[in-house]
Structure 1
């Protein structure tokens, strides 16, 4: 598992919900998320084939066509072209989040994460569990709750994908109360771990570790060879490193004003 392998797996990792609006060329991908997302407009991909300044200017021009959005979330990712970060700062971009990019060779023996028996885990294969997952993540990530039709659609999808080995979202419960959630998506041989979230008042009780252990077990059972995750430097990052993940770099998101 080389740095090039990890960078390629990161570049291939994009997620666009069916209800989103996209602007895509061979150089860029802009996504306008549904209204319940806290950051509705995001640049997911940038692969310049011309001078960087020209492509950056095009991103801003296309982003400004969304009249109801005042900010663009712009990610500087592994493999981004030299000079991009400086260009984003020159646009007025302010760092919102820095994530470690971590990967794990799933052919290596699993590390014992000392999972506590008090944590109950369920996949989001029904509407009730999907609603619990969204509730936790809306609190942690400061999003709004999706409408019921979105919850129903997500639960139907997960009922098929979890069984087929394509992943879903796990919800953690303490005494019947949803307190954590974390997803897994599959890309070729890669287990993409996303959305790990635990309510602040119950952190430190092994909930994130339980969600991580269960997802890694699922990945190994379905023949995946790499675990890939982008972890918050101060929270999930240390847990992931103790679980055997290695850091391959960092990615930063910038909030760029459009008006």
Structure 2
């Protein structure tokens, strides 16, 4: 894989020229910044892309903070999604000075779908574990429960997002559960980005007592096959430190580090 070209396409297709995520999402572009404004409380709002330098960064940040004081923004959580290759080099320091707070960084990893499919050929689930496609609210509830067990975080917003996806945009998402009998032990989803070269892998998490048995690898393989059938060239992941080594063995390359910087608008 040409990593420079893959990163260029990622920045262009999923950041700078990103289409609205949902029918109620709006994209605002101007002042060197692309901002997404979600139409619902569970929809993501924040900065997808910025093209700034030392002379323009502070004004661009101030403009976003000013928007947070408008009635439309009231009470919203707002994320400036930074990447380590963004300019200026001290963008993160400037965001801190403006009141943004960083979350845990993750590694942006990208791979050719064909390579992942080849490297995961033969990946199998443990005996007694099967994959179930999630298409309804009870399945979403099980995925949300796995997410909370695997990551130790509240999944209310994720649950609302997935419910919206399976109800109104089922063609843009593939959600799967690994079940051991009646027990959900791993869950993951893939989001399709029509008109781009990318499909995104999200939420891959295994409950603790089932880790180390190849389930995560099998779910990557399953989603790679689906991405290939849909004609996508690349898979993209924001990888945690736990999943990064596994993904590297499956053909993914680390292209950047992404760190969310959060701020909440006044109510």
TM-score tier after normalising by the smaller chain length: 0.7 to 0.9
Segments of structure 2 that go 5 or more residues without pairing to the other structure are none
Q: Which SS does the other structure have where 2:185 is aligned?
A: strand
1:85: which partner in 2? Answer: 92
1:251: which partner in 2? Answer: 258
Aligned-pair CA distance for 1:134: 3.4
2:47: which partner in 1? Answer: 43
Instruction: Give the TM-score of the pair, scaled to structure 2.
Output: 0.76
Instruction: Give the TM-score of the pair, scaled to structure 1.
Output: 0.78
Residue 98 in structure 1 maps to residue 101 in structure 2: no
Give yes or no for contact 1:106–1:227 (8 Å, CA) kept in 2: yes
Q: Higher mean Cα deviation, 206-215 or 71-80?
A: 71-80
Q: CA RMSD in A?
A: 3.2
Q: Quote the Cα distance in structure 2 between the aligned partners of 1:149 and 1:28.
A: 22
Q: How many residues align?
A: 248
Segments of structure 1 that go 5 or more residues without pairing to the other structure are none
The one of 238, 242, 251 aligned to 1:230:
238
Aligned-pair CA distance for 1:129: 2.3
1:171: which partner in 2? Answer: 177
Deviation track 1:58-112 (CA, whole Å, cap 9, x = no partner) reads: 011112323324x532211264222322211222433212111111123336224
2:62: which partner in 1? Answer: 57
CA 1:68/1:177 → structure 2, altered by over 3 Å: closer, same or farther?
same
Q: Quote the Cα distance in structure 2 between the aligned partners of 1:150 and 1:107.
A: 27
Q: Quote the Cα distance in structure 1 between the aligned partners of 2:204 and 2:245.
A: 14
Q: Which SS does the other structure have where 2:177 is aligned?
A: strand
Q: How does 1:1-259 map to 2 (within 5 A)?
A: 1-11=1-11, 12-13=13-14, 16-18=21-23, 22=26, 24-26=28-30, 27-32=33-38, 34-35=40-41, 41-48=45-52, 51-65=56-70, 66-69=73-76, 72-77=78-83, 79-82=85-88, 83-108=90-115, 110-112=118-120, 113=123, 115-137=125-147, 140=151, 141-144=153-156, 151=163, 154-155=166-167, 157-158=169-170, 161=171, 167-187=173-193, 188-232=196-240, 234-256=241-263
Q: Quote the Cα distance in structure 2 between the aligned partners of 1:192 and 1:145.
A: 18
Aligned-pair CA distance for 1:215: 0.5
